[in-house]
């Protein structure tokens, strides 16, 4: 089983859960994630819940609306 990883900025974890209940939330980077992978995520998959969803977050919302 795989997954998509990203960084999501919010005031609280409960804000993320309220807006994106589909997401699994991890407070810390997993031990298995290499530095190069983490840097790539920071550069390409960093999001803020107060901004218009794009990338993977936009896909999550589109998926939700399709159901």
pLDDT-derived band at 3, boundaries 50, 70, 90: confident
Residue in 31, 23, 28 with CA at minimum distance from that of residue 3: 23
In the chain the beta strands, taken as DSSP E runs, fall at 7-9, 46-48
Residue with tokens 């803020």: 48
Please report the pLDDT score of residue 42 as a whole number.
93
What's this model's pTM, rounded to 2 decimal places? Answer: 0.78
- Boundaries of every domain in the chain: 7-66
pLDDT digits (tens, 9 = 90+) for 6-65: 999 999 999 999 999 999 999 999 999 999 999 999 999 999 999 999 988 899 899 989
Q: Is the dihedral of CA 42, 32, 16, 59 positive or negative?
A: positive
């Amino acid at each position: 089983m795989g997954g998509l990883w990203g960084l999501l900025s919010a005031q609280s974890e409960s804000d993320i859960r309220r807006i994106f209940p589909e997401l699994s939330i991890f407070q810390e980077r997993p031990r298995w994630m290499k530095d190069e992978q983490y840097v790539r995520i920071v550069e390409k998959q960093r999001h803020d819940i107060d901004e218009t969803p794009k990338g993977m977050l936009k896909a999550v919302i589109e998926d939700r609306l399709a159901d």
